[in-house]
Structure 1
């Protein structure tokens, strides 16, 4: 996939790879990609966490099963094999349920009234204190801070706990055995995960020529910008599982920071890659929020320009 020409970064921003997901309008002089997390009413969106890519639509109806459940298959073979199949199927079902429960450990709680979510804030941030242990392989270690815009009433440490959970999971970006992460609370860091109101996300992403329209998450420079509305309400495919959608946000945008581009569905019935703009349609794939499966195999698809 060809590299796009990068806009000039603001002097105050640290350099970094600019990525984002979904559909967005570019302001004059800027180029980028964003992930549109669509509205829960079923419209557009990534902060996943996107761009002026090809528009797609998704048929109405209940979203596909989560990635943990294997595609349904007919049981065949000998009579002995058929007798053993129900037990194996039940084992697979229990395994999928355990994975789903693991994804929900943090507990997202009841979703708020959309009208109660502030659309703008002061643009200043509180950084989660403390720090975390290093997680991941033996290669490079990326440090990060977690910040929450002032006045949201959400403790930064609470958000940091969710981010740490995602980045430490064995199905996350550390599964390649090369990259590691460590949360810090001060000094220099490689990137920042920042939860902010739509207005503040628009302002920060707009400095790089991106029009996030009050709905979009983005990765610009060293910032993984998370739209508060998306964090609290999720999107149509994850309306009943906000925690999993938060996982998708972090994995998708951090994936962009690591240099991964957008991907498409690899085939009907297969899990959607985490770098797929799932809000724009699953195209036969099943929902999935992890870059690797439980066996350490990457979940990928064809590159999307």
Structure 2
């Protein structure tokens, strides 16, 4: 059979080309808005993503800063028998900032308002014990106790009392008396650091009026007023540590049988048994019963 091939007319052919061109233009123009929309969406995503990253960065920085500030703040914020006769030593109400010993950091910058005036009346005893110190005569045993809840370490107070009683210028210089700190069992006397009200109560049982200001020795108790321990008196305002030695030596002196003494003369050291807080009367301050050469520092007896 004969092969027949159909040929489109020129007009139809032109119409088809026009239709194809129109469709092609529509397709190209349709792609352009899509491309612009895609690009815009990409920009939005980049901006939003950047803002999110920046916000996360700021949050992390703030958290780090707060943590660092908290650590710095923490670092900046970062111490429960007999005596010859009862006796009391007067004391003044003058005060000063106390220097803190290694034993009582709570005393640093102490002021009268910050020192508790009363406590529960119960005591904690310092643990452990010390080596005997002193002469060849009788060795007196003692315990150190601190009233509960007053912010003082019994062990640290005991260390300071031991140091005082072991000093070569102390009561052991007579070559007879000796001391040894214990923490249990019977003892010859007790050194007790307590609030003013508790000192008043215990000393008052023996008829002594300590008036919230005074140390005393009654029975087997050497009672130390917390206020005096931390603030001393006007004569020792710049040397609280020395005044603590005067408290212990004066009251233990009473326990040993020594009475009050007066000033032996102008310019001479005040006897440790002198009530120095009532006035020096021309004498120089002194907190030891013996001098560096082992000679007793005494004065006329005071009734």
What TM-score, normalized to structure 1?
0.69
Tell me the residue number matched to 2:176: 178
CA deviation string 1:246-293 (max 9, x = no partner): 000000000000000000000111000000000111111000000000
**Partners in 1 of 2:206 and 2:112 — Cα distance?**
28
1:35 aligns to 2:33 (yes or no): no
| TM-aligned CA distance change 1:105 to 1:302, over 3 Å | farther
CA deviation string 1:8-60 (max 9, x = no partner): xxxxxx4322232xxxxxxxxxxxxx211212169xxxxxxxxxxxxxxxxxx
Tell me the residue number matched to 1:200: 198
Tell me the residue number matched to 1:15: 82
**Partners in 2 of 1:249 and 1:41 — Cα distance?**
16
Give runs of aligned pairs for residues 89-168 of structure 1, distance below 5 A: 110-168=108-166
Give 1:266's match in structure 2, choosing from 255, 264, 267.
264
Q: Is the Cα contact below 8 Å between 1:125 and 1:150 reproduced in 2?
A: yes
Tell me the residue number matched to 1:279: 277
The alignment of Structure 1 onto Structure 2 pairs a total of residues equal to 218
Gaps of at least 5 residues in structure 2 are 1-80
SS at match of 2:173: helix
SS at match of 1:147: strand
RMSD, matched Cα: 1.7
Gaps of at least 5 residues in structure 1 are 1-13, 21-33, 43-103
- Greater Rg over alpha carbons, structure: 2
CA shift for structure 1 position 230: 0.5
Structure with bigger helix share is: 2
Give 1:212's match in structure 2, choosing from 210, 213, 223.
210
What TM-score, normalized to structure 2?
0.69
Tell me: higher relative CO, structure 1 or 2? Use CA pairs within 8 A at least 6 residues apart.
Answer: 1
| TM-aligned CA distance change 1:265 to 1:106, over 3 Å | farther
SS at match of 2:273: coil
